[in-house]
């Protein structure tokens, strides 16, 4: 349940921050007339994400077992790819997200209502579709016959909406770059479990071999129906009897991805040179501005 709560919190907070930035900018610049198309774009994006999630959930039920496993495994791997890209992208752009959105909103204001709707839709829709896909894959991987995984996702989303409201009201201030770095790291761990489960689905669909080749079996020590077995499955998508291929893929993804993700940003020489050039350019621009006004 915690893993699914983390997904709902992390993904939901990204969308909440985008909404807060868009709304706050329009209010502060006196463009309240543009709020309606923004909310329309947000509403359409949310509806699309819900429809996508419902389509994945109910559409797959009409398939054969092998087809369900093939679809589930393929979409789980796709979800891991998208989430991995997303956490790296957010870590890189978290500090500049507000400036980037403000620039897009300024351009949309000049173009008219349709552009405002499209801007809000694209900004929130991408987050919504990624969230729907990864939530579906994670809930499917950690499902234990109860509604706990889905409850965890809903609680995470509700927490994200509440935190977004606090950000908008100015009642909460945290270092977003650090927040997204640490939650992103935990999300990589969750994604590794989803990836391993996706590989298992493909093995059950006979798309990949090695289903009977178990890496280990600790079912007697960690029963899947025990409280700690349920906890490990809910947080890490732990399986007590994984195949060799599952363990190999899990380690091959988790170790290098986590190492690169947690490495200091901008520590290389090329980064330092670029930063120095950017500083020199800013200083020249400031000097030119002073001379012009003088």
On whether residue 78 sits in a domain, the answer given is yes
On whether residue 201 sits in a domain, the answer given is no
Q: Which residue has the tokens 């945290």?
A: 174
On whether residue 274 sits in a domain, the answer given is no
277: Cα within 13 Å, side-chain hemisphere: 6
Distance set, CA 71 to CA 77, 137, 145, 263, 283 (Å): 10, 10, 20, 34, 55
**DSSP conformational letter for 264:** P
On whether residue 281 sits in a domain, the answer given is no
What pLDDT score does 278 carry?
46
Which residues have a Cβ under 8 Å from the Cβ of 168 and sit 6 or more positions away?
Answer: 20, 23, 24
Give SS3 for 274: helix
Low-confidence ranges of the chain (pLDDT < 70): 1-3, 94-95, 97, 142-149, 170-177, 227, 231, 234-235, 265-294
> What's the structural domain count of the chain?
1
On whether residue 197 sits in a domain, the answer given is no
On whether residue 97 sits in a domain, the answer given is yes
On whether residue 31 sits in a domain, the answer given is yes
Global pTM reads 0.69
Evaluate the CA torsion angle 228, 230, 231, 232 in order and state its sign. Answer: positive
On whether residue 100 sits in a domain, the answer given is yes
Which domain covers residue 110, as residue numbers? Answer: 1-185
The tokens for 242 are 């994984």
């Amino acid at each position: 349940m915690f893993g699914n709560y983390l997904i709902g919190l992390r993904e939901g907070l990204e969308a909440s921050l985008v909404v807060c930035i868009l709304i706050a900018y329009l209010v502060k610049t006196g463009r309240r007339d543009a709020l309606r198309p923004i909310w329309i774009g947000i509403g359409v994006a949310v509806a699309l994400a819900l429809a996508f999630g419902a389509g994945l959930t109910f559409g797959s039920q009409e398939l054969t077992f092998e087809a369900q496993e093939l679809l589930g495994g393929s979409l789980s791997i796709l979800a891991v790819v998208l989430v991995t890209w997303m956490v790296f992208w957010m870590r890189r752009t978290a500090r500049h997200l507000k400036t980037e959105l403000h620039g897009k909103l300024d351009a949309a204001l000049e173009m008219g209502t349709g552009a405002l709707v499209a801007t809000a839709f694209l900004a929130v829709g991408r987050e919504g579709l990624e969230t729907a896909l990864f939530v579906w894959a994670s809930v499917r991987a950690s499902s234990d016959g109860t509604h706990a995984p889905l409850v965890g996702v809903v609680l995470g989303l509700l927490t994200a909406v509440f935190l977004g409201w606090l950000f908008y009201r100015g009642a909460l201030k945290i270092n977003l770059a650090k927040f997204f770095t640490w939650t992103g790291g935990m999300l990589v761990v969750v994604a590794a479990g989803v990836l391993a489960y996706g590989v298992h689905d493909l093995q059950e669909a006979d798309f990949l071999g090695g289903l009977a080749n178990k890496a280990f079996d600790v079912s007697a020590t960690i029963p899947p129906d025990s409280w700690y077995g349920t906890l490990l499955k809910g947080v890490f998508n732990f399986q007590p009897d994984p195949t060799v291929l599952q363990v190999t893929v899990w380690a091959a993804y988790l170790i290098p991805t986590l190492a690169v993700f947690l490495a200091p940003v901008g520590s290389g020489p090329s980064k330092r040179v670029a930063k120095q050039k950017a500083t020199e350019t800013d200083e020249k621009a400031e000097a030119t501005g002073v001379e012009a006004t003088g």
